[in-house]
């Protein structure tokens, strides 16, 4: 009998498996429907021997020392600060928009103070900020909105920014300095030997068994377990009884070129004229030396693997119905991006699972030896 059945071998599931096995000596079965561990962070060497990320580029960054220290048990790191350029008006300019972006785009030599005034003069103040369009126009004005955000958002979401929650654009910064980094977190680095190797080390424990290529519903009732940690889609768990939660998907098109470098930085965004949203060259991220180079073109689409929950009020409402059912489910804990229908970065998912583990450990300790008592479901 397993103590825990863990559905999903991404970060949410792997953290739970590792903690429960290593700290509490629990016997754990991890069931994963794909044929590999690592969830969406899975990386592998392609036919040319270049390390690529199967489900799009994953750059690790966090402000949490706890998360960084936790992962450091399973990997050494390669310092890496991601930089992104946007292809706008025939130029490649830094994004998020900063002092360099404005000076390059408009052929100016503004100072930090002057760029604040410049952006303020462009901004169109809105009384009510409801949509993503409102957020951006209120901050930088219509011209920059159309150059950088409108087309990108339309491609990314299949919706106009005026149809998307303000929250989608609210976290996009603008800077009045020359900091060209994409992220400003305290810890920015990549697992030295890749994510898959990191996961292998997390899951190598005598108490952890991993079953790949298996949907958990195929083995339910056949393999006994006491409790479940569920990291798959929450609507699937409840057989879509309230309907399907909408997601945006992406087609990843990989291409290898007979050249050392394809583009001047890790990622180039294409907000406007191209069908894809961005192109990422993996060697920048991984630091690999190779005479060839592989890039991935991202083509957002409606159908396919669930990647981005679509942030609209009606979808949040639908999720709340499932969340209510999850809260009433005995001995099943929901964690991770699919089970909580929220876009999370890797560090947030890891933090979420570490917190859930602590709660379970505490409850188990406090309740011992009382049997039959209901454990509360996790709420983020």
Ligand X SMILES: Cc1cc2nc3c(=O)[nH]c(=O)nc-3n(C[C@H](O)[C@H](O)[C@H](O)COP(=O)(O)OP(=O)(O)OC[C@H]3O[C@@H](n4cnc5c(N)ncnc54)[C@H](O)[C@@H]3O)c2cc1C
Which residue in 250, 296, 310, 354 binds ligand X (CB under 6 A)?
250
If one asks whether residue 7 binds ligand X (CB under 6 A), the answer comes out as yes
C-beta closer to ligand X: residue 119 or 250: 250
- CA triple 166-183-296, angle to 5 deg: 90
The whole-angstrom separation of Cα 20 and Cα 29 is 11
178: left (phi over 0), alpha (psi -120 to 50) or beta: alpha
Q: Give least dist CB 348 to ligand X, A.
A: 7
Q: Give least dist CB 123 to ligand X, A.
A: 29
- CA triple 262-266-272, angle to 5 deg: 80
| Interface segment toward ligand X; rule CB under 6 A; list 126-134, 191-199, 315-323, 345-353 | 345-353
* # of chain residues touching ligand X (CB under 6 A): 34
If one asks whether residue 256 binds ligand X (CB under 6 A), the answer comes out as no
| Interface segment toward ligand X; rule CB under 6 A; list 4-12, 102-110, 268-276, 317-325 | 4-12
Q: Give least dist CB 46 to ligand X, A.
A: 18
Helices of type H across the chain = 11-24, 65-72, 99-106, 112-122, 132-144, 151-157, 166-170, 195-203, 216-219, 234-237, 282-286, 313-327, 346-367
Which residue in 2, 4, 5, 10 binds ligand X (CB under 6 A)?
10
The whole-angstrom separation of Cα 139 and Cα 88 is 19
Which residue in 315, 345, 364, 380 binds ligand X (CB under 6 A)?
345
C-beta closer to ligand X: residue 141 or 300: 300
Q: Give least dist CB 66 to ligand X, A.
A: 15
Among 6, 53, 13, 21, CA closest to 204: 21
C-beta closer to ligand X: residue 133 or 347: 347
Name residues contacting ligand X, limited to 207-226 (CB under 6 A). Answer: 215-216
- Let me know: does 259 contact 245? Beta carbons within 8 Å: no
If one asks whether residue 344 binds ligand X (CB under 6 A), the answer comes out as yes
| Interface segment toward ligand X; rule CB under 6 A; list 65-73, 275-283, 332-340, 359-367 | 332-340
| Interface segment toward ligand X; rule CB under 6 A; list 84-92, 153-161, 261-269, 334-342 | 334-342
Q: Give least dist CB 237 to ligand X, A.
A: 8
Q: For the CA atoms of the chain, what is the radius of gyration?
A: 22
Name residues contacting ligand X, limited to 16-35 (CB under 6 A). Answer: 31-34
The whole-angstrom separation of Cα 68 and Cα 196 is 17
If one asks whether residue 58 binds ligand X (CB under 6 A), the answer comes out as yes
* DSSP-assigned states of every residue in 74-88: T--EEE---BEEEEE
Which residue in 2, 4, 5, 12 binds ligand X (CB under 6 A)?
12
Which residue in 19, 21, 41, 227 binds ligand X (CB under 6 A)?
41
If one asks whether residue 337 binds ligand X (CB under 6 A), the answer comes out as yes
Which residue in 141, 194, 232, 271 binds ligand X (CB under 6 A)?
232
C-beta closer to ligand X: residue 123 or 211: 211
**Token digits for 348?**
């947030």
The whole-angstrom separation of Cα 138 and Cα 155 is 22
- Report helix, strand and coil shares of the chain as percent, to nearest 5: 35, 20, 40
Cis, bond preceding 369 (omega within 30 deg of 0): yes
Q: Give least dist CB 378 to ligand X, A.
A: 13
C-alpha distances in angstroms, 103 versus 161, 192, 270, 370? 26, 36, 20, 67
Place of tokens 């470098």: 261
Which residue in 336, 354, 356, 377 binds ligand X (CB under 6 A)?
336
- CA triple 339-341-342, angle to 5 deg: 120
Residues that bind ligand X (CB under 6 A): 7-13, 31-34, 39-41, 56-59, 215-216, 231-233, 236, 250, 307, 336-338, 344-347, 349
């Amino acid at each position: 009998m397993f103590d825990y059945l863990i559905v999903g071998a991404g970060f949410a599931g792997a953290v739970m498996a590792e903690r429960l096995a290593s700290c509490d000596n629990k016997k754990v079965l991890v069931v994963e429907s794909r044929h590999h561990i690592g969830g969406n962070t899975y990386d592998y060497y392609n036919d040319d021997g270049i390390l690529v990320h199967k489900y799009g580029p994953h750059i690790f960054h966090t402000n949490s020392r706890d998360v960084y220290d936790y992962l450091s048990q399973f990997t050494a790191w390669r310092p890496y600060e991601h930089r992104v350029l946007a292809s706008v008006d025939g130029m490649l300019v830094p994004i998020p928009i900063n002092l360099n972006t404005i000076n390059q785009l408009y052929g100016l030599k503004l100072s930090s103070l002057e760029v604040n005034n410049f952006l303020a003069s462009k901004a169109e103040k809105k009384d009510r900020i409801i949509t993503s369009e409102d957020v951006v126009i209120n901050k930088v004005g219509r011209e920059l909105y159309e150059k950088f955000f409108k087309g990108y958002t339309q491609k990314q979401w299949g919706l106009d920014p005026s149809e998307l929650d303000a929250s989608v654009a609210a976290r996009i910064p603008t800077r009045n300095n020359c900091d060209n980094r994409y992220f400003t977190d305290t810890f920015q680095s990549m697992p030295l030997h890749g994510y898959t190797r990191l996961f292998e080390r997390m899951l190598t424990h005598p108490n952890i068994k991993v079953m790949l290529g298996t949907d958990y519903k195929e083995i339910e009732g056949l393999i006994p377990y006491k409790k479940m940690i569920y990291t798959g889609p929450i609507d699937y768990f409840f057989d879509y009884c309230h309907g399907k939660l909408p997601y945006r998907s992406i087609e990843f098109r990989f291409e290898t070129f007979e050249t050392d470098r394809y583009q001047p930085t890790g990622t180039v965004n294409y907000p406007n004229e191209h069908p894809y949203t961005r192109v990422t060259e993996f060697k920048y991220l991984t630091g690999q030396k190779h005479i060839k180079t592989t890039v991935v073109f991202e083509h957002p689409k409606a159908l396919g693997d669930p990647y981005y929950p679509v942030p609209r009020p009606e979808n949040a409402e639908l999720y709340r119905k499932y969340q209510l059912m999850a809260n009433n489910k005995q001995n099943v804990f929901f964690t991770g991006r699919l089970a909580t229908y929220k876009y999370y970065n890797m560090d947030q998912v890891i933090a979420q699972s570490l917190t859930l583990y602590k709660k379970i450990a505490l409850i188990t300790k406090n309740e011992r030896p009382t049997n039959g008592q209901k454990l509360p479901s996790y709420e983020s």
